């Protein structure tokens, strides 16, 4: 009851504020384009299930990468790197990169006929409205004001969402999945300064996520002119080419539903079926931990324990929902231990997907009868690099896709590798024009022979008969050199959201504050940049 009356008091105080700010002529001022999240949490926090689970929308959201999109030090460092690489396009780069990371300030700038900015908002000036809006990242009133207009079309990608126009001068629609009673609508209109809760099914459809999670990057040549186009992030298109299109949406995995009726507001809320958690559980456990460790420098507001719990939740999600690994065909034959490692992708898009810094790989260890390791492929070093990976050792090289591994310096790495106009390997997004390797694990139902160019398999995996929609199988033939069994094989699929080369290449820009800061953070935390997606073990007699 305490939470209830606090929320009522908060709502009443805002109602009074709204009345006080009525214009002298007795007319309300125009409803603001956006509100920051603090206007929403008074009513949408303090939510629990019957079993006592805290499902507070504001608390869950503030620990996510959505809430911290503008604080992300890797993003800030990468924007600075691109601006240094392409100085003539600096303004355009900041505008493009702020669309989905600082959406409120960028959208407001667009309405004013200006380009969005990034670094002018850093550090955040919290005593100013624009500073608070920049710090709020992908805030509540951004996603919930996106209208159904042109969703799913090419025009909607790269942050091409359309914010719904106002219904009246002092009233804007804010979309949700539920019908709201008239009395509750009036409460929200007054407490939020003019937002009308409006039911629409599009808020639960993958197409709304695709607006910011589909990024087509226009490369720039040395002269600053367009040099090509790179499908930087296309998980939505991967999903469309999978069997998940017919059964699962983005939200069904990344905003898991509460398994019982619950209220979505503590002010006169009524229990509803199908309420989604706003955890936005995804893939970047490492950044959540970095934000927590360097919270003061990055102006993080989510409490330390909440952010630690969120990072653990991300790790648990990845370790249980991403993939499975199995060891098959294990036998000793002609002085070699032969086996196959089978990996299944459980998700509805490639694994890993989206930002190309991400990679997953097989770590396989064979021990003899005494427990002594006689073979290891894919070990990870304390600095985050992978033993035997050509790209970690040499920025100009990369590890190929394997159908069979026979040596310890061969590693099956599932990744996308970008090339520039000359064919050289690069981690510069605005320098890249194509992928020369893309063997990321495919979702079930994905036909690599019919995939459109933006989501195509590239490199050796295209002709690998064991690399199929939903799975891959890698064979190992390990010389025993007289070792005695029984042999034990351990196999695990490891994952990093920021690969070693993608972090290390930023050191070349150490004269700039943001790359220097991020690489310092990365070096201090590199040992925790890896997590396990799946693992198995099996033994074989001599």
Q: Are residues 288 and 348 in the same domain?
A: no
Q: Per-residue confidence at 499, pLDDT binned at 50, 70, 90?
A: very high
Show which of 315, 332, 362 is a domain's final residue.
Answer: 315
**pLDDT tens column, 57-98:** 999 999 999 999 999 999 999 999 999 999 999 999 999 999
Radius of gyration of the chain (CA): 25
Domain that residue 454 falls in? 322-540
Q: Are residues 130 and 272 in the same domain?
A: yes
Q: How many domains does the chain have?
A: 2
Element (H, E) at 185: helix 182-191
In a domain, 50, yes or no: no
Q: Closest Cα to residue 311, out of 133, 497, 160, 455? A: 497
Reading the block at residue 214, the tokens are 């589909």
Query: How many helices (H) and strands (E) would you count in the chain?
Result: 18, 16
Q: Is the pLDDT of residue 23 over 50?
A: no
Show which of 315, 331, 356 is a domain's final residue.
Answer: 315
Q: Tell me how far CA of residue 501 lies from CA of 33, 357, 437, 524, in angstroms.
A: 41, 8, 15, 16
**pLDDT tens column, 258-314:** 999 999 999 888 999 999 999 999 999 999 999 999 999 999 999 999 999 999 999
Q: Are residues 87 and 181 in the same domain?
A: yes
Query: How confident is the model at residue 303, as a pLDDT?
Result: 98
Q: Are residues 179 and 293 in the same domain?
A: yes
Query: How confident is the model at residue 2, as a pLDDT?
Result: 37
Query: How confident is the model at residue 183, as a pLDDT?
Result: 81
- Kindly state the greatest CA–CA separation across the chain: 94
Which residue did the predictor score with more confidence, 387 or 190? 387
- What SS3 state is found at 370? coil
Cα-to-chain-centroid distance, residue 304: 21
Q: Are residues 291 and 392 in the same domain?
A: no
**pLDDT tens column, 117-166:** 999 999 999 999 999 999 999 999 999 999 999 999 999 999 999 999 99
Q: Per-residue confidence at 29, pLDDT binned at 50, 70, 90?
A: low
Which of 33-42, 151-160, 236-245 shows the lowest mean pLDDT across its residues? 33-42
Cα-to-chain-centroid distance, residue 341: 27
Query: How many other β-carbons are positioned within 10 Å of the β-carbon of residue 127?
Result: 7
In a domain, 535, yes or no: yes
In a domain, 48, yes or no: no
Residue 455 sits at the vertex; the CA angle it makes with 450 and 458, to the nearest 5 degrees, is: 85
Query: How confident is the model at residue 189, as a pLDDT?
Result: 81
**pLDDT tens column, 346-401:** 999 999 999 999 999 999 999 999 999 999 999 999 999 999 999 999 999 999 99
In a domain, 309, yes or no: yes
Q: Closest Cα to residue 428, out of 70, 65, 86? A: 86
Show which of 263, 282, 315 is a domain's final residue.
Answer: 315
Which residue did the predictor score with more confidence, 449 or 30? 449
- What SS3 state is found at 337? strand
Query: How confident is the model at residue 542, as a pLDDT?
Result: 67
Q: Are residues 349 and 275 in the same domain?
A: no
Euclidean distance between CA atoms 59 and 305, whole angstroms: 11
Query: How confident is the model at residue 150, as a pLDDT?
Result: 97
Cα-to-chain-centroid distance, residue 438: 18
Q: Mean pLDDT for the chain? A: 93
Euclidean distance between CA atoms 153 and 211, whole angstroms: 9
Q: Are residues 262 and 397 in the same domain?
A: no
Q: Is the pLDDT of residue 39 over 50?
A: yes
The full DSSP string for 520-540 is HHHHHHGGGS-EEEEEEEEEE
Q: Closest Cα to residue 361, out of 525, 232, 474? A: 474
Query: Which phi-psi region, left, alpha or beta, contains residue 388 (left: φ > 0; alpha: ψ -120 to 50)?
Result: left
Query: How confident is the model at residue 193, as a pLDDT?
Result: 80
Reading the block at residue 24, the tokens are 């002298």
Query: How confident is the model at residue 518, as a pLDDT?
Result: 98
Q: Are residues 247 and 336 in the same domain?
A: no
Per-residue exposure over 499-522, b if at least 16 CB sit within 10 Å of its own CB, e if not: bbbbbbbbeebeeeebbbbbbebb
Q: Are residues 274 and 373 in the same domain?
A: no
Per-residue exposure over 209-222, b if at least 16 CB sit within 10 Å of its own CB, e if not: bbbbbbbebbbbee
Q: Is the pLDDT of residue 7 over 50?
A: no
Q: Please state the length of the chain.
A: 542
Query: Which phi-psi region, left, alpha or beta, contains residue 447 (left: φ > 0; alpha: ψ -120 to 50)?
Result: beta
Q: Per-residue confidence at 188, pLDDT binned at 50, 70, 90?
A: confident
In a domain, 295, yes or no: yes
When pLDDT is averaged across residues 40-54 and rounded to a whole number, the result is 93
Q: Is the pLDDT of residue 489 over 90?
A: yes
What does residue 339 show for φ and ψ, rounded to 5 degrees? -160, 170
Q: Are residues 374 and 310 in the same domain?
A: no
Q: 55 preceded by cis ω (within 30°)?
A: no
In a domain, 494, yes or no: yes
Q: Is the pLDDT of residue 333 over 80?
A: yes
Q: Are residues 270 and 329 in the same domain?
A: no
Q: Per-residue confidence at 28, pLDDT binned at 50, 70, 90?
A: low
- Taking the CA atoms of 159, 439, 311 and 248 in sequence, report the sign of the dihedral they define: positive
Q: Bridge-partner residues for 338, per DSSP?
A: 331, 477
Which DSSP state fits 415? -
Q: Closest Cα to residue 440, out of 428, 453, 458? A: 458
Cβ-in-10-Å burial (0-12, 13-18, 19+) of 396 comes to exposed
Query: How many other β-carbons are positioned within 10 Å of the β-carbon of residue 255?
Result: 18
When pLDDT is averaged across residues 504-517 and rounded to a whole number, the result is 98
Q: Are residues 262 and 404 in the same domain?
A: no
Reading the block at residue 408, the tokens are 């310890």
Q: 260 preceded by cis ω (within 30°)?
A: no
Euclidean distance between CA atoms 276 and 313, whole angstroms: 16
In a domain, 73, yes or no: yes
Query: Which phi-psi region, left, alpha or beta, contains residue 130 (left: φ > 0; alpha: ψ -120 to 50)?
Result: alpha
Q: In the chain, pLDDT over 70 holds for what percent of residues?
A: 94
For 451-494, what is the HEC assignment?
CCHHHCCECHHHHCCCCECCEEEEEEEEECCCCCCCEEEEEEEE
Residues 6+ apart with CB under 8 A from 144: 174, 175, 176, 203
Q: Scanning the structure block, which residue is given the tokens 């090509």?
A: 228
Report whether 211 contacts 156 (CB < 8 A). Answer: yes
In a domain, 51, yes or no: no
Euclidean distance between CA atoms 520 and 526, whole angstroms: 10
Which DSSP state fits 302? S
Q: Bridge-partner residues for 405, per DSSP?
A: 476
């Amino acid at each position: 009851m305490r939470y209830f009356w606090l929320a009522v008091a908060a709502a009443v105080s805002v109602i009074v504020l709204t009345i006080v700010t009525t214009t002298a002529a007795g007319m309300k001022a125009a409803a603001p384009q956006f509100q920051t999240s603090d206007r929403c949490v008074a009513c949408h926090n303090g939510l629990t299930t019957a079993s006592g689970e805290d499902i507070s929308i504001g608390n869950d959201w503030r620990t996510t990468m959505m809430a911290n999109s503008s604080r992300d030090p890797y993003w800030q460092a990468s924007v600075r790197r691109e601006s240094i690489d392409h100085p003539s396009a600096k303004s355009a780069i900041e505008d493009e990169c702020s669309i989905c990371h600082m959406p409120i300030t960028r959208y407001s700038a667009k309405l004013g006929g200006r380009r969005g900015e990034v670094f002018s908002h850093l550090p955040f000036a919290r005593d100013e409205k624009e500073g608070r809006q920049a710090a709020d990242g992908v805030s509540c009133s951004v996603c919930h004001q996106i209208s159904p207009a042109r969703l799913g079309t090419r025009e909607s990608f790269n942050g091409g969402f359309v914010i719904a126009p106002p219904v009246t001068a002092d009233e804007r629609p804010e979309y949700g999945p539920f019908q709201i009673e008239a009395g509750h609508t009036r409460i929200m209109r007054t407490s939020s300064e003019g937002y009308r809760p409006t039911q629409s099914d599009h808020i639960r459809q993958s197409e709304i996520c695709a607006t910011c999670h589909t990024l087509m990057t226009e490369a720039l040549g040395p002269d600053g002119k367009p040099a090509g186009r790179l499908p930087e992030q296309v998980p939505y298109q991967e999903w469309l080419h999978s069997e998940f299109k017919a059964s699962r949406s983005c939200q069904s995995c990344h905003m898991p539903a509460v398994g019982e009726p619950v209220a979505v507001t503590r002010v006169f809320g009524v229990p509803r079926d199908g309420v989604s958690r706003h955890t936005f559980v995804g893939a970047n456990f490492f950044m959540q931990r970095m934000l927590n460790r360097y919270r003061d420098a990055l102006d993080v507001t989510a409490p330390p324990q909440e952010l630690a719990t969120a990072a653990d939740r991300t790790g648990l999600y990845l370790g249980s929902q991403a993939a499975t690994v199995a060891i098959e065909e294990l036998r000793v034959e002609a002085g070699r231990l032969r086996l196959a490692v089978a990996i299944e992708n459980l998700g509805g898009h490639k694994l890993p997907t989206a930002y190309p810094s991400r990679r997953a790989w097989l770590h396989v260890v064979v021990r003899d009868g005494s427990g002594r390791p006689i073979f290891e492929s894919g070990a990870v070093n304390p600095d985050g690099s992978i033993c035997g990976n050509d790209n970690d050792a040499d920025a100009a090289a990369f590890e190929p896709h394997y159908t069979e591994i026979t040596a310890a310096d061969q590693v099956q790495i599932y990744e996308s590798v970008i090339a520039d106009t000359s064919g050289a390997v690069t981690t510069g997004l605005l320098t890249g024009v194509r992928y020369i390797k893309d063997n990321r694990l495919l979702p079930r139902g994905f036909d690599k022979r019919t995939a459109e160019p933006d989501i195509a398999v590239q490199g050796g995996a295209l002709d690998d008969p064991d690399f199929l929609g939903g799975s891959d199988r890698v064979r190992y033939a390990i010389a025993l050199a007289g070792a005695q069994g029984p042999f034990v094989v351990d196999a695990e699929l490891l994952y990093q959201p920021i690969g070693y080369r993608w972090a290390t290449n930023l050191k070349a820009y150490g004269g700039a504050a943001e790359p220097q800061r991020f690489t310092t953070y990365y070096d201090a935390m590199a040992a925790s940049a890896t997590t396990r997606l799946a693992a198995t073990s099996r033994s074989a007699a001599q």
